[in-house]
Amino acid sequence: MAEHKEAAYTTADGNDYAAHEQTYEGFIMLVKYGTAAVVIIVALMGFFLT
């Protein structure tokens, strides 16, 4: 049977933590501005379509 050891993600070869943080920041920015855009669109629809 294989031995199950605790994974060490911070020391594993090939991890690019800076790229991970940059991708996460981009995702958060997309969610923030996407949500704001949807709120604005719904508000404008409520104003102009009623």
pTM above 0.75, yes or no: no
* The pLDDT value given to residue 16: 82
* The pLDDT value given to residue 26: 97
1-50 confidence digits (pLDDT tens): 567 777 666 666 777 888 989 999 999 999 999 999 999 999 999 999 98
3-state class (DSSP) for residue 41: helix
* The pLDDT value given to residue 39: 98
Residue whose C-alpha is closest to residue 20's, from 9, 33, 7: 9
Task: Return contacts of 11-19, CB within 8 angstroms, 24+ apart.
Answer: none
* The pLDDT value given to residue 50: 86
